[in-house]
Amino acid sequence: NKLLEEHFASKTDNYICETRMKHKDGHWVWVLNRGKVFEWSKEGKPLRATGIHLDISANKRIVSELKKSEEQYRSLINNIQAAVVVHDVDTRVIACNPKSHELLGLTQNQIIGRQAFDSKWNFLNYNANKMPLEQYPVNQVLTTQQQVRNQTIGIFRPDKDDFVWVLVSADP
């Protein structure tokens, strides 16, 4: 192992690495190895070391399952034919899917990081009157912690210089 060799050559204070090892009953496990030489010879060779070997197979399995689940989630969100925009508690957009770029007429870079209270948003209520920002569904949800269902709003699309009418639902 290169990391262990580097430690034995006094290039690092300790070594940490993950390896696969065959268990005594024959199955393979993932092992976290940590160690440190604490006594060296006059020639700089390791004499005594201490370390641990920890079975991390369950952790590896959970990480693998989580990665697979996240890939499935991303595929679903990226391919759904509805705009999905995710805000944090400060109303800042933290994620959006390709359909939202198309619907809003903005690139991902123009959407990510923008807050729902940003004056650059331009919304119309169902009567085609300018909607106050506090009535925007995300702001309503974050203020009341209640769902908003099927609210019709107009959103200005800068790429087309017009409004698109959408049906919005939002959840805390």
pLDDT digits (tens, 9 = 90+) for 92-108: 999 999 999 999 989 99
pLDDT at residue 101 in the model: 92
Whether residue 126 has pLDDT greater than 80 = yes
Enter the tokens of residue 119. Answer: 């004056």
Task: Report the mean per-residue pLDDT for the chain.
Answer: 92
Which residue would you say has higher pLDDT here, 136 or 117? 136
pLDDT digit string (tens) for 5-31? 899 888 899 999 999 999 999 999 999
pLDDT at residue 119 in the model: 75
% of the chain exceeding 70 in pLDDT: 100
pLDDT at residue 47 in the model: 93
pLDDT digit string (tens) for 59-105? 999 999 999 999 999 999 999 999 999 999 998 999 999 999 999 98
Task: Tell me if 84 sits within 8 A of 96, measured CB to CB.
Answer: yes
pLDDT at residue 132 in the model: 87
Enter the tokens of residue 125. Answer: 């209520």
pLDDT at residue 82 in the model: 94
Mean pLDDT of 121-142: 88
Mean pLDDT of 50-60: 96
Enter the tokens of residue 132. Answer: 């106050």
Q: Identify the band that residue 159 occupies on the pLDDT scale cut at 50, 70 and 90.
A: confident
The helix (run of H) or strand (run of E) holding residue 169 is: strand 162-170
DSSP β-ladder status, 123-124 and 93-96: unpaired
Q: Give the count of alpha carbons within 13 A of 52, CB side only.
A: 4
Per DSSP, which regions of the chain are E strands? 15-22, 28-40, 46-55, 85-87, 93-96, 123-124, 148-157, 162-170
Task: Tell me if 31 sits within 8 A of 55, measured CB to CB.
Answer: yes
Q: Exposure of 5 by Cβ count < 10 A (0-12 exposed, 13-18 middle, 19+ buried)? A: exposed
Expressed in percent and rounded to 5, the helix, strand and coil fractions of the chain are 30, 35, 35
| CA–CA distance, 41 with 58 (Å, rounded to integer) | 39
Whether residue 169 has pLDDT greater than 90 = yes
pLDDT at residue 1 in the model: 78
